[in-house]
């Protein structure tokens, strides 16, 4: 498959080079998809990017089969088999599944925002969460955010997340926050990040121009921040030949299920890079933090244009747990 490279320079002020890796997963194959992620991080590092962003649920892929195969059918053997395969290829960060990506980030000296399907060990290790992982430039996992509300048929395979990952990360001259797909439409989730000084918002998507072409500019304009939308691709050729009921998932030869749409808007709401469809590769831009300061002169949503005496938001950032154990032995209590 071909590789695209699009770059838009900003100014001579100190900048942050960002690379969006708009790629396709190897559907339901964690190891093979992670290898593609590592290669793109290495490529971005060679081009001196300091932030590399991937789409939602990229590892091991978005559940495109749910709608076409009647995913709401109760106790259906096909849905059970597909869920089991999905779970077997999901990611457990605490088990070291992301170590190859962490090593690549460390070698490149770049932070990575990656969409994964997480088998949450702290929730029993069987249910799945659509999670956003932030990997620091030193390779450490900085945070894992579980999508607050799965959308439509996603609720048949993904569990609702919590607020533990509503955090930001310092990177160069920016403060970076990130949300999954339609939770970018949740005003209070965005406000929680804005209040922490976010000025570079990352929105990750499964892949569609219709999802990114309006909200990217809207978030940028609302927050007076840069907004980076990162999407994936999924085409008929990316669905394995042995995929169960493949003819229902991709009934037409050459059809596209996810067409990308990755893009970047500046803090004035204007395009830095317009949505890019049907192109696989790195999309690179240099972002200037000085532009944020210019646009905050007339509007700052958590600063001079806020009224905390009138409007306030409470955010519970505790990781949700099912049970707390208290044993007789001192120091032996544990949470699950």
Cα 313 to Cα 306: distance, rounded to the nearest angstrom: 12
- Is 263 designated active site? no
The pair phi, psi for residue 91, each rounded to 5°, is: -105, 135
The question of whether 227 is a catalytic residue gets the answer: no
126 labelled catalytic: no
Catalytic residue among 36, 43, 130, 181: 181
Which of 43, 56, 274, 295 is labelled catalytic?
56
Q: Is 262 helix (H, G, I), strand (E, B) or coil?
A: strand
Phi, psi of 85 (to 5 degrees): -65, -40
Which residues, in sequence order, are bridge partners of residue 230?
A: 204
The phi, psi pair for 169, rounded to 5°, reads -135, 135
Q: Quote the longest CA-to-CA distance of the chain.
A: 63
| Residue in the block written with tokens 């169960």 | 244
Q: Compute φ and ψ for 71, nearest 5 degrees.
A: -60, -20
Active-site hit among 147, 222, 258, 295: 147
Query: Cα(first)–Cα(last) distance of the chain, in Å?
Result: 44
The pair of three-digit structure tokens given for residue 11, joined into one six-digit string: 């100014």
Residue-level length of the chain: 336
SS (H, E, C) 113-134: EEEEEEECHHHCCCCEEEEEEE
Alpha-carbon span 142 to 17, nearest angstrom: 20
| Active site members | 56, 147, 181
């Amino acid at each position: 498959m071909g590789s695209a490279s699009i770059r838009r320079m900003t100014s001579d002020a100190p900048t942050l080079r960002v690379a969006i890796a708009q790629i396709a997963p190897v559907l339901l194959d964690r190891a093979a998809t992670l290898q593609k992620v590592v290669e793109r991080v290495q490529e971005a590092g060679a081009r001196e990017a300091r932030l590399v962003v991937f789409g939602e649920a990229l590892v091991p892929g978005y559940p495109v089969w749910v709608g076409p195969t009647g995913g709401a059918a109760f106790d259906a053997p096909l849905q059970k088999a597909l869920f089991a395969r999905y779970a077997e290829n999901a990611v457990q960060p605490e088990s070291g599944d992301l170590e190859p990506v962490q090593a690549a980030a460390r070698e490149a000296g770049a932070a990575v925002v990656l969409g994964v399907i997480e088998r949450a060990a702290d929730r029993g290790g069987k249910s799945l969460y659509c999670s956003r992982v932030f990997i620091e430039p030193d390779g450490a996992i900085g945070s894992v955010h579980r999508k607050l509300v799965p959308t439509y048929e996603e609720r048949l395979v993904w569990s609702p997340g919590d607020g533990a990952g509503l955090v930001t990360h310092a990177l160069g001259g920016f403060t970076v926050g990130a949300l999954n797909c339609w939770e970018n439409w949740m005003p209070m989730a965005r406000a929680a990040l804005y209040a922490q000084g976010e000025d570079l918002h990352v929105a990750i998507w499964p892949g569609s121009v219709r999802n990114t072409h309006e909200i990217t500019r809207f978030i940028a304009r609302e927050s007076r921040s840069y907004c980076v939308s990162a999407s994936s691709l999924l085409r008929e050729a990316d669905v394995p030949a042995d995929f169960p009921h493949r003819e229902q998932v991709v009934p037409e030869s050459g059809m596209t299920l996810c067409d990308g749409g990755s893009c970047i808007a500046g803090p004035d709401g204007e395009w830095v890079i317009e949505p890019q469809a049907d192109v696989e590769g790195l999309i690179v831009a240099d972002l200037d933090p000085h532009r944020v300061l210019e646009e905050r002169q007339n509007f700052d949503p958590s600063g001079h244009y806020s009224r905390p005496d009138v409007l306030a938001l409470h955010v519970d950032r505790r990781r949700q747990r099912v049970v707390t154990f208290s044993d007789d032995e001192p120091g032996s209590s544990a949470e699950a």
